[in-house]
Structure 1
């Protein structure tokens, strides 16, 4: 079943606030195998000019994924999760993310298109801090294989 085209332009309200902690930054950096001291050591981060531990560039995947799952889990969209693959992911960082930040995510369905029997779903997420300043914009493209594929 093709995805519901009426979802194009739909937005989803901000998520609950996610508190970025030093522990989460360290865990994420360790999980991706990045031993850069600005992700692990507060003194090193401050010596490099940062106010606190710096989050790695892809750290915000943690909260972005939950927001995306809200959209793809909406039964009205008609997405068969078992036929979906992640096609593309992009981050535009407007400023760094540091430990101590409180963030929310607002998501948008930018586009749904069909090509070669598959649906392509493009989602945008805006990640903002507690002052409502834009921290990062993400875009994800999900590919849903057609039933005849």
Structure 2
């Protein structure tokens, strides 16, 4: 069954602010095996003009996961997670994330479309400070393999 197109525009706010810490940045950098000293050495980051260590460019994935999870588990969306593959991810920064940031996120379903017998779900996460300063927008695209085939066969595809 095709995903529920009425979900386009639905928003999922973070439950509470997320504090970016040196430890979380270090753990993330280790997990992606990136030894850049800007992620672990305060002096290196400060010498480069940052207030503290900065996070790797893909770190905002962590903040987008909460909103994505809220959408994915909603049975009314009709997303078969067993058929999901990750398609694409991008980030548009106003500035790097750094240790000491306190951030909120708002994830929005921006698009659901049929594509070659599959369905694509696009989630956009706006990450801001509590004062609403934009820091980064993360875009995550998921493909539901075969999700549109049955709908298209019934004449309901796009």
TM bucket by the smaller chain? Answer: over 0.9
RMSD, matched Cα: 1.5
Asked whether the equivalents of residues 15 and 67 of structure 1 are also in contact (C-alpha less than 8 Å), the reply is: no
Asked whether the equivalents of residues 89 and 140 of structure 2 are also in contact (C-alpha less than 8 Å), the reply is: yes
1:60-83 CA deviation, whole Å, 9 max, x = no partner? 111112221111111110001101
Asked whether the equivalents of residues 127 and 135 of structure 1 are also in contact (C-alpha less than 8 Å), the reply is: yes
1:87-135 CA deviation, whole Å, 9 max, x = no partner? 1111011111110111111011111111222111111110111221111
**Deviant stretches of 4+, over 4 Å:** none
Residue 90 of structure 2 corresponds to 90
Residue 38 of structure 2 corresponds to 38
Distance of 2:50 and 2:12 partners within structure 1: 32
TM-score (norm 2): 0.88
Distance of 2:40 and 2:115 partners within structure 1: 44
Residue 72 of structure 1 corresponds to 72
Uncovered stretches (5+) of structure 2, i.e. residues with no partner:
151-158
TM-score (norm 1): 0.93
Deviation, 1:27, is 1.0
TM alignment of 1:1-149, pairs within 5 A: 1-146=1-146
Uncovered stretches (5+) of structure 1, i.e. residues with no partner:
none
